[in-house]
Structure 1
Amino acid sequence: MKLNITINKIKSIKNLTISLPIEKGLYAITGQNGSGKSTVVTCASSVFFTMPMNDYFGKTDEDARIDFELNGAKRAWFKEKTNWKKSSEGKMSIKGFYEGSLIFGNRFRNTNFETLKKLDFIDNTKLAEAPNFIKENLGIILQNNKNFYEKLYILEGKNIDSKFNFYRDIFYYEKGEKRVSQFHMSTGENLMVSILNSIFIRNNDRASLMKPCLMFLDEIELALHPSSLKRLINFLKDLSNKFNYAVYFSTHSIELIGGIKPDNIFFLERYSDDSLEILNPCYPAYATRILYDHSGYDSVFLVEDDLAKSIINRILKKYNLLSNRLIHVLPCGGYSNVIDLAEEVVNSNLIGKTSKIMIILDGDVKVEANAYIAKRNYNNNIPLNYLPIESLEKFLKKHLIENVDKKLFRILNDFIFQQKSLSSLIEEYKNENGIKRDDNGKIFYKYLDNELRARNKNRDEIVEMIVDYLFDNNDQNLIKITHFLKKQLE
């Protein structure tokens, strides 16, 4: 199930439609600076968070609006002259919380120097011991020590004198004889204690774990050390599984994006005419513009997707081509992404002069790839070859629908699609799409993917079975790419 969002004339976004899965797991919304990541996250959070729209979005056109649709229910924010209004149609059953940017984040709201100065002198008798969930996880994430913030206290918002005009919970911790208020903590401590408090409140509010709950975290990497980010990811993975949370990061962080599977990465591509496109799935290499540290590898193969990566890795192992070499196979997305990234790597020397880079594209894009290279006048002499098969989506459509490979059909049907058969899914696909063009197989693959998700399975299982099938049947088309790899690694 997905939350469908349409954003119209909000900040730098003229018009954008994005569908966000609400199933538990970690997701990333990423893109170049100024692409609109934070705007998407803020707009999405307004499905459950009533915010002062003019404060968050500034001056907007009179026809600015945000529309939501989930399982037939609809909700919208829309501008009426100078005021924002809200409408609903049907019951939209969804919860969540939002930790915003440095300027509009919850942790810095309603603060001023005089108020903070007074809160520093709050009497200890008004403080209560913070919940163990917050104390221990704050210590684990930031210090890798659950007892580090053992003396952590909370001043609940309801106990703060109304003259302060401050109504949120405030935290204090003691080190020796010194008491430190939340506003004198490090930015990372301030950030994490607020997030953990929000999560703690939300956990206690989860009367039914069946109701979807979204967490939107906007650029939290700005305040956290990479090691803390990695521990935060592990914490949120466990939490997501336990409480059925879909956790969305708006981020540039390699640490965050690298730990999220391509299906869960949404890349905002902004073009020169200011239009936006959502790339999903998106591979981390493309999302971070190959900022990974691949220096030190002897050879780097850039490929399109996970099927290509699995085939190349299987050949490398089968023919002992890995001996005495460090080799990395890096999926980047479509053929244009691979070609562009290869050009950038060579021109910027991102992997070092001692590393050799090669391109292997899917077998059905040879004409398009050559035209793309010629049009952009790329002349970098990077070795280029093609796989003997198409993309995963095209391969499945070809061998399961157009020219049925009965043996492969039975293998997939028996081991993966046990509850809802492949035949049923194919029949649904044909009935619902009619004569609609699906040359790349992506529409058909969505039917398979939805069934996989419903059964807690994933794309990797199909990829692995197809690679096994190709090698078990000694597919002769693998010989050409094997010769290419051997030649390049001589």
Structure 2
Amino acid sequence: MDLVKLKVSNIKNIKSADIELPMEGGVYSLVGGNGSGKSTLMLLLSVIVSSRRYSMLQLEDYDKTSEIEISMSIGGNVSNNKWKVSGANKFVVSGGVPIEFKGVYEGSLFYGSRFEDSRVVDNLIRSNSIKPEHIVDAFDYVKDNLSYILHGDMNHYRTLKKIKNKKISLQYQFSNVPYFTVSPTGALLSQYRMSSGECLLLSLLNYIYSTIVNSGATGVTSISPVFIDEIELALHPIAITRLVSYLNELVEQFPKVCVYLTSHSPEVIRSLKPENMFMINNSSGDISLINPCYPSYAIREVYRHDGFDYLVLVEDKLAEKIVDMSISDIGARESKLIHISPVGGWENVLSLHLNLLKNNVMGVNKKIISILDGDVKTDVSAKKEFTHLVKTFLPIPSIEKFIYSSIFEGKYPGFKKVLNDKYFPIKSIDELSLEHSRQFKGKVKNPDKKFYFRLKKDLESRNIDESYFISNLSEDIKREISFEAFNVALTGLLR
């Protein structure tokens, strides 16, 4: 197994670290909460792709006692570098030349090369100093993957341009190969004027295509590290999921590519194998790693709610509010702490419940309860793996189905009147339901969700947000529907 070993003394919030990580094909992640040291570790590791990387450390990040030692064991060959602070107060390597592999580091908003060329390229654009023949169409590979990762299609960025090659970039004193887009007015905009996500991905995709994908007949013959720091600062969660999928496909095609991400994003954590995740444990500056790291454990560590006695998993915000009200109604909070967490659909709720138990994430003397919408009892009973989980059901279906059944199926007539009079005084419920019926004729998929979306849009047009609506609606529902049996069951579960 190829490895990189990193020893650190007195760098930023790291007093000491002695860690070991795989350096072979795959997608890996350093995960941990804010301030755990993951970005610092990533920066220190990235010196293997550029010996200038430590110049990114600020004077206040280290002192005369600071040291960094990196040891690489690749294919049975071991190389070692020790970095110390020189008399000029800069990091220098002692004993041999710096270890260097062909690779890339793309930092978050606070690190990386995003701003290095920005001033130069802006001045050149303003003075029309870039020759037209030096700007060419971007690679289709970059256009396609940028569009897919950010937008889920191949239609965006078709007019994307770039400086012709690295040699010409150096003539303009660029440290990288800038990309450009054309504004609706015809103006040339550099990637440094684009969003942070676009800028980060352009640099990353340009490197991957130029150095890895377009590597010629020999291909990638030695380990090629790719370091990406805290992508959630620049990318939407859906884009993060697509990027991780893209990276997984990349390492399948090029087994020598070794990708490291730092993240506390659930999208990253849920996408990776437990054995490829390393949870950072920072104990007063002393760093250690936990591996394998299961997603439920990682998310529990990153988004933790300490000290509760009961964890109640529900499907959505309405269920969270209703359960919270019921807990107050039965006086169940006396001498106990209860945390309610909306998870998603019923399968997500029960899968998370099962994973938490299997991995003993909650520890001893903690109880997990799943409370599901009342319309999924049959579906749940068919899943034998969830039979022994502690669970109960609300006396109502989902908010979408409850409202839909009241408006379109004639159930709960009293609730329909309250809904209309209290929340829709301008455009009535009857008007909204008529609009829905005109648009969606015949059998349609998820009509309840489509109608609820229509209601939300109407509320938003009057500056009423969904959380306010749900908070008040839950009280109306409890006045319309008897929760007596549910409260009895809940009382028994919270004993």
Q: Same fold (TM over 0.5)?
A: yes
Indicate how the Cα distance of structure 1 residues 133 and 325 shifts in structure 2: closer, same or farther if over 3 A, else same. Answer: closer
- 1:194-213 equivalence runs, <5 A: 194-203=203-212, 204-205=214-215, 207=218, 209-213=220-224
1-structure distance, mates of 2:117, 2:199: 15
SS at match of 2:49: coil
SS at match of 2:103: strand
Q: Residue in 1 aligned with 2:342? A: none
2-structure distance, mates of 1:53, 1:259: 31
Contact 1:73 1:91 in 2 (8 A): no
Indicate how the Cα distance of structure 1 residues 233 and 79 shifts in structure 2: closer, same or farther if over 3 A, else same. Answer: same
Indicate how the Cα distance of structure 1 residues 95 and 195 shifts in structure 2: closer, same or farther if over 3 A, else same. Answer: same
CA deviation vs aligned residue, 1:58-102 (integer Å, no higher than 9, x gap): 331223222122222212322233232114569968432111121
Percent same amino acid among aligned pairs?
28
Q: Residue in 2 aligned with 1:231? A: 242
Quick check: 260-269 or 50-59, which moved more? 50-59
Q: Residue in 1 aligned with 2:363? A: 339
- 1:96-111 equivalence runs, <5 A: 96-111=103-118
2-structure distance, mates of 1:80, 1:326: 55
SS at match of 1:64: strand
* Among 137, 140, 150, the residue aligned to 1:132: 140
1:295 aligns with 2:301: no
Q: Residue in 2 aligned with 1:159? A: 168
SS at match of 2:157: coil
Contact 2:25 2:251 in 1 (8 A): yes
Q: Residue in 1 aligned with 2:329? A: none
1:67 aligns with 2:80: no
SS at match of 1:339: coil
Contact 2:18 2:288 in 1 (8 A): no
Q: Residue in 2 aligned with 1:269? A: 281
SS at match of 1:209: coil
- 1:426-445 equivalence runs, <5 A: none
Which structure: larger Rg?
2
Aligned-pair distance for 1:282?
Answer: 1.1
Indicate how the Cα distance of structure 1 residues 75 and 194 shifts in structure 2: closer, same or farther if over 3 A, else same. Answer: same
SS at match of 2:118: coil
SS at match of 1:167: coil
* Among 176, 188, 195, the residue aligned to 1:186: 195
- 1:140-159 equivalence runs, <5 A: 140-155=148-163, 156=165, 158-159=167-168
- How many residue pairs were aligned? 327
SS at match of 1:35: coil
Aligned-pair distance for 1:43?
Answer: 0.5
Contact 2:51 2:98 in 1 (8 A): no
Where does the alignment leave 5 or more consecutive residues of structure 1 unmatched? 299-322, 356-381, 384-487
SS at match of 1:107: coil
Q: Residue in 1 aligned with 2:59? A: 58
Q: Residue in 1 aligned with 2:33? A: 32
SS at match of 1:46: helix
Indicate how the Cα distance of structure 1 residues 195 and 52 shifts in structure 2: closer, same or farther if over 3 A, else same. Answer: closer
Q: Residue in 2 aligned with 1:248? A: 260
Contact 1:68 1:74 in 2 (8 A): yes
Q: Aligned Cα RMSD in Å?
A: 3.7
Contact 1:157 1:170 in 2 (8 A): no
Indicate how the Cα distance of structure 1 residues 228 and 352 shifts in structure 2: closer, same or farther if over 3 A, else same. Answer: same
* Among 171, 174, 178, the residue aligned to 2:179: 171
Indicate how the Cα distance of structure 1 residues 324 and 278 shifts in structure 2: closer, same or farther if over 3 A, else same. Answer: closer
Q: Residue in 1 aligned with 2:93? A: 86
Where does the alignment leave 5 or more consecutive residues of structure 2 unmatched? 305-311, 320-345, 375-388, 391-492
Contact 1:267 1:279 in 2 (8 A): yes
2-structure distance, mates of 1:246, 1:37: 17
SS at match of 1:32: coil
1-structure distance, mates of 2:189, 2:371: 46
SS at match of 1:269: strand
